[in-house]
Amino acid sequence: MDEKELKIAQQASEIFMRYGIKSVNMDDMARHLGISKKTLYQHFKDKEDLLTKAVSCFNEREDCAISKIVKEKLNAIDESLEIMKWVLSILQTVNPAVDYDLKKYHPEIHKLMSEHRERLVCDGMILNLKRGQKEGLYRKDFNPELIAKLYMSRMDCMFDQNLFPFTSWTLSNIYTQAFIYHIRGVASLKGLEYLREKMKLKS
């Protein structure tokens, strides 16, 4: 993508996340971006093309954010907490309908996004769990690969309206509770003490 196309795709990803995908057509997108529809079509042949590149931009943004946190060389719990903060900053602006729209109307794009996230989150989670075990912050009596997959499956349920109706739950609340459930489950006594101090949790 050239510089102009990249900028539009980056802004489009934020608009899709905020308003959903099905509800935003190319006319809406041009208006939100403050450009003409002609200009939009000069860079993207249709909505599918724009969405594909917008998702690619979001994936790259996610990669950079996680990579930056990992490079800080924090202990396993602090790294997890920093990633949690970043994810929450994203979820606060995400329309819950986005995942449903992708699955139903753009399955191939949804598949690519899911595969990317699985590689990023699952691989990163395994490394975090193994390091936490070495640091004594996590228990040693679990399989990191298995726990990482269980964590991923729990994250996939966040958008299930049958389990968590959007009228009753926010994505931020679901994610926070799932994260605390996960981290307390893998933490050693030393890790729990450290976690309570960091998050001011009651025993």
Q: Nearest-CA neighbor of 82 among 92, 72, 91?
A: 72
The residue among 39, 55, 71 that closes a domain is: 71
Residues 59 and 159 in one domain: no
Residues 41 and 112 in one domain: no
pLDDT value of position 160:
87
Q: Residues of the chain with pLDDT > 90: what percent? A: 77
For residue 15, the enclosing domain spans: 1-71
Examine the domain organization and report whether 112 and 196 are in the same domain: yes
CA dist., res. 192 & res. 161, Å (int): 32
Distance CA 107, CA 124 (A): 25
| Domain C-terminal end among 24, 49, 71 | 71
Q: How confident is the model at residue 118 (pLDDT cuts 50, 70, 90)?
A: confident
CATH number of the domain to which 98 belongs = 1.10.357
Mean pLDDT, the chain, whole residue set: 93
Check whether residue 49 and residue 90 sit in a common domain: no
Based on the fold, state whether residues 125 and 167 are members of the same structural domain: yes
Q: Give 4-60 pLDDT, tens digit per residue.
A: 999 999 999 999 999 999 999 999 999 999 999 999 999 999 999 999 999 999 999
* Same domain for 175 and 80: yes
DSSP per residue, 68-127:
HHHTT---HHHHHHHHHHHHHHHHTT--THHHHHHHHH-HHHHHHHHHHHIIIIIHHHHH
pLDDT band, very low/low/confident/very high, at 203 (cuts 50, 70, 90): very low
| 24 and 113 both lie in a single domain | no
Residue 54 sits in a domain whose CATH number is 1.10.10.60
102 and 162 part of one domain: yes
Distance CA 127, CA 136 (A): 14
Final residue before a domain boundary, out of 37, 71, 105: 71
Same domain, 136 and 203: yes
Q: What is the pLDDT of residue 101?
A: 93
Return the C-alpha torsion angle 26, 32, 35, 37, nearest 10.
20
Average pLDDT over residues 108-131: 92
Task: Provide the domain count of the chain.
Answer: 2
- For the beta carbon of residue 115, count every other beta carbon within 10 angstroms: 10
Pair (166, 154) in one structural domain: yes
For residue 91, CA distances in Å to 17, 95, 175 come to 9, 8, 9
pLDDT of residue 201: 54
pLDDT above 80: residue 142? yes
Query: In this structure, are 36 and 50 located in the same domain?
Result: yes
How confident is the model at residue 200, as a pLDDT? Answer: 76
99 closest CA partner among 23, 21, 174: 21
Indicate if 52 and 90 belong to the same structural domain. Answer: no
Q: How many CB atoms are closer than 10 A to CB 79?
A: 20
Residues across the chain? 203
Tell whether the model's pLDDT for residue 202 goes beyond 60: no
Q: 166 Cβ partners below 8 Å, 6+ apart?
A: 96, 97
Residue 10 CA to residue 12 CA, distance in Å, equals: 5
Hey, is 187 helix, strand or coil? strand
pLDDT digits (tens, 9 = 90+) for 56-86: 999 999 999 999 999 999 999 999 999 999 9
